[in-house]
Amino acid sequence: MRTLGICVSLVLLTLGMALAKPSSGAPRVKTPKKAAFTNGEVVTLQGKVQWLKAVVSSTTATSRQPKEGLFLLIGEQESTPVSSAPITYLTHLGLTLKDGTAVKVTGWKQVRGDDVSVIASSLEVNGKSYTLRDADGKAAWSEDIEDYVPNKDDLAKAEVVTQQGTVSMAAKSEKPTFHLNTGEGVTSLLIMAAMPKALQSAGLTLANGDTITVTGWRVAQGETSFILARTIAKDDQTYILRDENGKATLSAKTPKTGGGKTKKKTTEN
């Protein structure tokens, strides 16, 4: 009987361990990694915006806005540097912050010696709240231009440009982007076109050195400025990549007019 009891106990113990241990084939839920700065104290501050000294981005040489939306929050008793979001994302939200704009900032307090700053999770202006980061500190925007989703309202305000140049791309590239060398004193322009296989299916094959003309919207994702191609012309043939609202559509026809305001026309080489 004693032996039987020991055997039963061993069976129960083994069964319990089997139930407790997940099967190797069972799906595992990946726990999101929290940003280190979220360990800081969560605070809410109010004050007025004062932009810090501008940082000129190499991709947007005409921009005089501070990188990453860094501004000084002028409070009644003290001023605190606040890291909000890229200017392009704030604009996408419909939020325009000017010097003197009253704003309520909620975010994580960062302390380094005697220096105190805040990384914003949300901003509130005129009673409306704008989320910039989630509880884990993950930004609401993406720096990867492949994640860019065209918005017809944004495109309606965007500058429409036409650029002629030669293609520069990695060998056997499977990305929807390439660079266009214009020979106008600019190293190159980043172009968002379409996946190579999709272009090929429409009859357009691009290779290094090909001379093409790109017409599209000058837009940005995070701090990266690029041209979202609407059409690409090569060898007297025009290929339509997107309609006037930015929706993907591949064909080899003459495009309709519309879709954005032409603020600047670039002289073609």
3-state SS, residue 195: coil
Share of the chain above pLDDT 90, in %: 39
3-state SS, residue 54: coil
The count of structural domains within the chain is 2
43: CATH: 2.40.50.140
Q: What is the pLDDT of residue 143?
A: 64
Residues 246 and 163 in one domain: yes
Residue with tokens 């083994």: 14
Q: Which sign does the torsion angle of CA 144, 150, 58, 140 carry?
A: negative
Residues 155 and 123 in one domain: no
Residues 42 and 82 in one domain: yes
pTM: 0.50
Distances (CA, A) of 124 to 74, 87, 135, 253: 15, 16, 17, 46
Residue with tokens 């993950």: 138
Range with the poorest average pLDDT among 4-8, 10-14, 96-100, 122-126: 10-14
Which residue, of 80, 105, 131, is where some domain finishes?
131
Residue 89 near residue 97 (C-beta atoms within 8 A)? no
Q: What is the pLDDT of residue 253?
A: 60
Residues 124 and 152 in one domain: no
Tokens of 36: 């280190």
Does pLDDT of 14 surpass 80?
no
d(Cα 257, Cα 162) in Å, to the nearest integer? 14
162: CATH: 2.40.50.200
Residues 160 and 212 in one domain: yes
Asked if residue 156 belongs to a domain, the reply is: yes
Strand partners, 159: 218, 261
3-state SS, residue 182: coil
Residues 165 and 231 in one domain: yes
Angle formed at CA 38 by CA 92 and CA 53, multiple of 5 degrees: 50
Length of the chain: 269
Strand partners, 82: 71, 118
Q: What is the pLDDT of residue 225?
A: 81
pLDDT, tens only, 81-105: 999 987 767 877 888 888 999 999 9
Residues 244 and 152 in one domain: yes
Burial, 264: exposed, middle or buried (Cβ in 10 Å; 0-12, 13-18, 19+)?
Answer: exposed
Share of the chain above pLDDT 70, in %: 69
Of 66, 70, 57, the closest CA to residue 224 belongs to: 57
Which residue, of 131, 153, 170, is where some domain finishes?
131
How large is the average pLDDT for residues 110-119?
Answer: 93
Q: What single string gives the DSSP state of each residue in 205-254?
A: ---TT-EEEEEEEEEEETTEEEEEEEEEEETTEEEEEE-TTS-EEEE-SP
Of 213, 77, 228, the closest CA to residue 151 belongs to: 228
pLDDT, tens only, 51-82: 875 443 333 333 334 455 789 999 998 999 99
Asked if residue 257 belongs to a domain, the reply is: no
Of 88, 92, 122, the closest CA to residue 105 belongs to: 122
Of 134, 115, 155, the closest CA to residue 244 belongs to: 155
| Domain extent at residue 236 | 145-251
